[in-house]
Amino acid sequence: MKIRLDIFEGPLDLLLYLIKKDHLNIYDIPISTVVGQYLQFLELMKFLDINIASEYMVMAATLINIKSKTLLPKEQAPEAPEEDPREELVKKLLEYEKFKEAAQFLKEKEKERLKYVTRSGSDNQEKEVFLEASIFDLISAFKGALKDVPRDIFFEIIKDEFTVEQKIHDLLHLFLVKETVSLDELFSSAKSKLEVVVIFLAILELIRLCEIVAIQKVLFGQISIARRQNVLTCP
């Protein structure tokens, strides 16, 4: 089953995510580090059978081209300083970041990005505010769950004993008895690393169907999964 990425972010979002997550300087991007991490994410997306838009591949080629230019010996003529090959990318990222911040502000005003989970047993029905985790937060958590798996086993074909359809059913049943569950708990309940893959694919599909939402108390924090209370707020 191929997961479409239409409802998720694009290549510039992934770059901003990598920069912010590792607290990198957007004006002085360590291009070798970013290229490596970007290609790792693409590799995971392909492995998970996520439908990757062509823009991701174009950005990958752009990053590799920039990296190659930074490795070339610099010209010795001081009167003609060379243009930083990262300059155009930085401009695009800064412009896109401003656009995202404006869009985020409007969404917050409409309470579309902020998710509320009611605490049970509270007379005042006090509500906690959560941030919705991005697809890249989820993939990063998934990557961490499989960090000790040998490469040959990692790319092994998933057996029929674990199906995405069955895991979707299991997750929906779980949310009938629990309001939220941590992503770490879901992964640790798996009997094998291959089952972790199927659980993750089931989560992505339920997010796409607006059945569940991935939430964080703080940016880049621990991820929990909750049943979406109002499907009308689904992107």
Percent of the chain with pLDDT over 70: 68
**Is the predicted pLDDT of residue 114 greater than 50, yes or no?**
no
**Is the predicted pLDDT of residue 69 greater than 50, yes or no?**
yes
pLDDT at 35: 92
**Is the predicted pLDDT of residue 4 greater than 50, yes or no?**
no
pLDDT at 162: 67
Percent of the chain with pLDDT over 90: 6
Residue where the block lists tokens 């902020």: 114
Longest dimension (CA), the chain: 74
**Is the predicted pLDDT of residue 177 greater than 60, yes or no?**
yes
**For the residues of 1-33, what is the DSSP string, one character each?**
-PEE-TTS--HHHHHHHHHHHTT--GGG--HHH
Residue where the block lists tokens 């959560």: 130
**Is the predicted pLDDT of residue 61 greater than 70, yes or no?**
yes
**CA distances for 182 relative to 10, 167, 216, 217, angstroms:** 26, 16, 10, 12
- Name the pLDDT band for 45 (thresholds 50, 70, 90): confident
pLDDT at 7: 43
Locate the domains of the chain by residue range.
1-74+81-110, 111-235
Token digits of residue 115: 């998710």
- Name the pLDDT band for 182 (thresholds 50, 70, 90): very high
**CA distances for 210 relative to 55, 205, 226, 232, angstroms:** 25, 9, 11, 9
pLDDT at 232: 42
